């Protein structure tokens, strides 16, 4: 008997317990860091792995339930069958500092959490989600906190929080909390109901500071996560916009980069970067393609974006200026210049892959890439 770890593990962010329970359940996207690349657990029938978190403090209660275990059942096999150890792999990645041993103890933690938990760090921004507040009639706000690992209270909190990256960010690893160059932004929902203020973790971002010659830092977003119950409400954009604004406003930072972004993050970043660039007239003084490298570099420095991201946004901005679509677009001189400008960039970035092809095949591959790029740019622009 085998159970799919991914299908049977529940993560619960819990605000109340038992009577009048307010429990949100969701499943992890990945379990291979805990239970192996096949994400399977052998030897159980009706297996359920429940990982319960208090919504604010992330006090944790881990429990395993099953109907039958293979070593407790009759078997015709001459070799004794042993079930996989479910408990140890999970506990190896959980913080023991806020681990509850019984469900009753956890319920007490959740009740206390609702009344007493307050986020660690320095509050740097807050905002409202109007539609949700109007629907609920409750006082709901969202608050962003900035923290460093020199803060002992936050360091403990991060130990509880970091397990989330294994479940929801592919290939993620724990970061070194002993490195003072890390900055962590946490986003919380603040609920004010009848004079009682309670907090729920919405998401977080870890950012590393690299030295940038001669006297600045390069900020790199490493891990960026909005928890599943809060996805689709603009919280990722709100968190990213604050981080980008903070980097722009701080002369110690040269630019903002991202480590191995997912497609979903790239989409979110593209939308927000383009809105900011358009709102601040980044392309107003630029006529049409081609755009010289000096202008691109000036835009990079002004808006503190990497060369890749600035080039991508510039190409979207130029396409937006052209405006038309269909045959009228592709036959225009302006679009032909744009096409040549983007194709040269595509060729330069893929020289190693194209060098062994004949000229006709090279042109075909570059044209295919260009068509895909333009389709993607149009999709992003349609969302602005």
pLDDT for the residue 75:
59
Of the residues 259, 298, 361, 368, only one is catalytic, namely 259
236 among annotated binding-site residues? yes
Residue 6's pLDDT band (boundaries 50, 70, 90)? very low
Residue 355, H or E segment: none
Report pTM.
0.90
Residue 78's pLDDT band (boundaries 50, 70, 90)? low
The CATH code of the domain at 118-260 is: 3.40.630.30
Average of per-residue pLDDT across 232-250: 97
Q: Which pairs from 373-379 meet CB under 8 Å and 24+ separation?
A: 373/315, 373/342, 373/346, 374/319, 374/342, 377/315, 377/316, 377/319, 378/319, 378/325
pLDDT tens track for 55-70: 999 999 999 999 988 8
In the sheet that holds 23-26, the strands lie side by side as: 23-26, 9-14, 48-54, 60-65
Instruction: Quickly tell me which residue has 């970091």 as its tokens.
Output: 162
Which range of 130-144, 238-252, 337-351 scores highest in mean pLDDT? It is 238-252
pLDDT tens track for 167-200: 999 999 999 999 999 999 999 999 998 888 999 9
pLDDT for the residue 239:
98
Sign of CA dihedral 322, 324, 325, 329: negative
Q: Apex CA 341: angle with CA 338 and CA 343, to 5°?
A: 105
For residues 378 and 335, is the Cβ–Cβ distance under 8 A?
no
27 among annotated binding-site residues? no
Q: Quick check: is 88 catalytic?
A: no
pLDDT tens track for 120-157: 999 999 999 755 544 555 679 999 999 999 999 999 99
Average of per-residue pLDDT across 350-362: 85
- What 3-state class would DSSP assign to 17? coil
Instruction: Output phi, psi for 224, to 5 deg.
Output: -140, 120
Average of per-residue pLDDT across 199-226: 97
Residue 2's pLDDT band (boundaries 50, 70, 90)? very low
pLDDT tens track for 307-325: 999 999 999 999 999 875 5
Model confidence at 21: pLDDT above 90: no
Alpha-carbon distances of 241 from 236, 245, 378, rounded to whole Å: 8, 6, 22
Q: Which pairs from 76-84 meet CB under 8 Å and 24+ separation?
A: 81/43, 82/43, 83/41, 83/42, 83/43, 83/44, 84/35, 84/41, 84/42, 84/43
Token pair, residue 195, equals 């004079």
Contacts of 73 (CB under 8 A, 6+ apart): none
What is the residue extent of each domain of the chain?
1-117, 118-260, 283-382
237 among annotated binding-site residues? yes
For residues 157 and 173, is the Cβ–Cβ distance under 8 A?
no
| pLDDT above 90 as % of the chain | 75
Residue 8's pLDDT band (boundaries 50, 70, 90)? low
233 among annotated binding-site residues? yes
Whole-angstrom distance, CA of residue 121 vs CA of residue 148 = 8
For residues 245 and 258, is the Cβ–Cβ distance under 8 A?
no
Token pair, residue 256, equals 């903002």
pLDDT for the residue 81:
80
pLDDT for the residue 250:
97
243 among annotated binding-site residues? no
Residue 355's pLDDT band (boundaries 50, 70, 90)? confident
Average of per-residue pLDDT across 265-291: 96
38 among annotated binding-site residues? no
* DSSP characters over 314-342: HHHHHHHHH---THHHHTSHHHHHHHHHH
Helix pair 307-322, 359-382: axis angle to 10 deg: 80
Model confidence at 158: pLDDT above 80: yes
Token pair, residue 182, equals 């890390």
* DSSP characters over 218-238: EEEEEEEEE-GGGTTSSHHHH
In CATH, which superfamily holds the domain spanning 1-117? Histone acetyl transferase 1 (HAT1), N-terminal domain (3.90.360.10)
């Amino acid at each position: 008997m085998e159970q799919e770890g991914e299908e049977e593990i529940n993560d619960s962010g819990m605000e109340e317990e038992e009577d009048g329970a307010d429990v949100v359940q969701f499943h992890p996207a990945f379990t291979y860091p805990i239970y192996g690349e096949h994400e399977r657990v052998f030897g159980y029938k009706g297996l359920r792995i429940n990982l319960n978190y208090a919504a604010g403090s992330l006090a944790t209660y881990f429990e395993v339930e099953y109907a039958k275990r293979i070593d407790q059942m009759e078997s015709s096999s001459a070799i004794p069958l042993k079930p996989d150890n479910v408990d140890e792999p999970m506990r190896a990645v959980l913080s023991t500092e806020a681990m509850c041993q019984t469900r009753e103890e956890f319920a007490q933690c959740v009740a206390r959490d609702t009344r007493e938990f307050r986020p660690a760090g320095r509050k740097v921004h807050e905002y409202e989600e109007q539609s949700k507040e109007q629907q609920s009639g409750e006082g709901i706000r969202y608050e962003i906190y900035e923290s460093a690992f020199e803060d002992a209270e936050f360091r403990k909190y991060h130990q509880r929080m970091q397990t989330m990256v294994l479940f929801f960010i592919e290939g993620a690893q724990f970061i070194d909390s002993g490195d003072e160059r890390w900055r962590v932004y946490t986003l919380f929902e603040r609920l004010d109901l009848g004079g009682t203020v309670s907090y729920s973790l919405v998401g977080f971002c870890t950012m590393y500071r690299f030295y940038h010659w001669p006297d600045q830092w390069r900020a790199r977003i490493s891990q960026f996560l909005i928890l599943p119950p809060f996805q689709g409400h603009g919280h990722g954009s709100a968190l990213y916009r604050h981080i980008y604004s903070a980097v722009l406003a701080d002369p110690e930072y040269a630019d903002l980069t991202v480590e191995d972004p997912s497609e979903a993050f790239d989409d979110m970043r593209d939308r927000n970067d383009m809105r900011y660039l358009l709102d601040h007239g980044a392309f107003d003084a630029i006529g049409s393609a081609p755009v010289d490298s000096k202008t691109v570099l000036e835009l990079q420095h002004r808006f503190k974006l990497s060369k890749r991201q600035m080039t991508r946004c510039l190409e979207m901005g130029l396409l937006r200026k052209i405006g038309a679509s269909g045959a009228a677009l592709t036959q225009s001189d302006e679009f032909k210049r744009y096409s040549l400008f983007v194709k040269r960039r595509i060729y330069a970035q893929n020289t190693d892959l194209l060098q062994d092809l004949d000229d006709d095949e090279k042109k075909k591959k570059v044209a295919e890439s260009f068509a895909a790029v333009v389709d993607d740019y149009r999709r992003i622009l349609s969302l602005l």
